[in-house]
Amino acid sequence: MRRPLVAGNWKMHGTRATVRALMTAVRDGLGDNRGADVLVLPPAVYIPDAVRLAEGTGIGVGAQNVADQDQGAYTGEIAADMLTDLGCAHALVGHSERRLHYGESDALVAARFAAAIRHGVTPLLCVGETLEQRESGDTEAVLAAQIDAVAEHVDGEALTRGVVAYEPVWAIGTGRTATPEQAQSAHAFIRARLAVHGAAATQVRILYGGSVKPETAAELFAMADIDGALVGGASLKADDFINIIARAV
């Protein structure tokens, strides 16, 4: 049985004051009786504030990225050990915005995944196809390449320790959501691909991301291979985020 996970990616939004207010509203608005694990991913500089406000609530705080190297002269990067030092045990790797705007390759994403695993940080590996790739029938080939690249760096046991987020690029921030059937089909493919590489794939949580809203969450969560969500825009509104979490049971 996979416990659902709902993660809120706050991306590069907010100020110290608004991030504190959002964290407080999420914390206070969420009851103790949750059917899902909850994670928030603030901008890195606000992680310590979020960790402090989350203390004792069971809400996890993660990072939006993690370095592929352990330590050293890598300006601008944040090492996995630094995250654990802050009380942060999760990190996104390979978000499509990193791949698109900062040119992160499958190989770099894979190295980030491996570094996270080496240091006890759970990587949330983001995979997904562009609209052009979907329309030319390449969705599965793209997903396979993104997963296979990680499997070149780590074994099946490490893959099992990660989380995967399927995020069709055409559904991110566009208000356009994959249908539950489209998402389910991609999730089932991802699970099968993880198994090819020796992962205990039935244990791996696969989240859906791409314009998830309270109105669309329940039908997505009802699908067999959808184990929660990676929420962007809607996670910036405490009520919407809480309502999405409430639908994950």
CB closer to ligand G3H, 53 vs 172:
172
Contact residue for ligand G3H among 146, 191, 233, 247 (CB under 6 A): 233
Contact residue for ligand G3H among 124, 147, 154, 172 (CB under 6 A): 172
Binding part of the chain for ligand G3H, among 46-54, 70-78, 166-174, 241-249 by CB under 6 A, reads 166-174
State yes or no: residue 173 binds ligand G3H (CB under 6 A).
yes
State yes or no: residue 184 binds ligand G3H (CB under 6 A).
no
Nearest one of 215, 143, 163, 116 to 5, comparing CA atoms = 163
CB closer to ligand G3H, 186 vs 197:
186
Considering only residues 1 to 30 of the shown chain, the ones binding ligand G3H according to CB under 6 A are 9
Instruction: Please say if 167 is a catalytic residue.
Output: yes
CB closer to ligand G3H, 123 vs 209:
209
Annotated binding residues for substrate: 9-11, 173, 211, 232-233
Q: Name the maximum alpha-carbon separation found in the chain.
A: 48
Tokens of 5: 């996970």
Residues 6+ apart with CB under 8 A from 113: 93, 94, 123, 125, 150, 153, 154, 158, 162
SS3 33: coil
Residues 6+ apart with CB under 8 A from 152: 110
Instruction: Please say if 77 is a catalytic residue.
Output: no
Give the torsion through C-alpha atoms of 5, 6, 7, 8, to 10 deg: -170
Binding part of the chain for ligand G3H, among 54-62, 116-124, 138-146, 165-173 by CB under 6 A, reads 165-173
Catalytic center residues: 95, 167
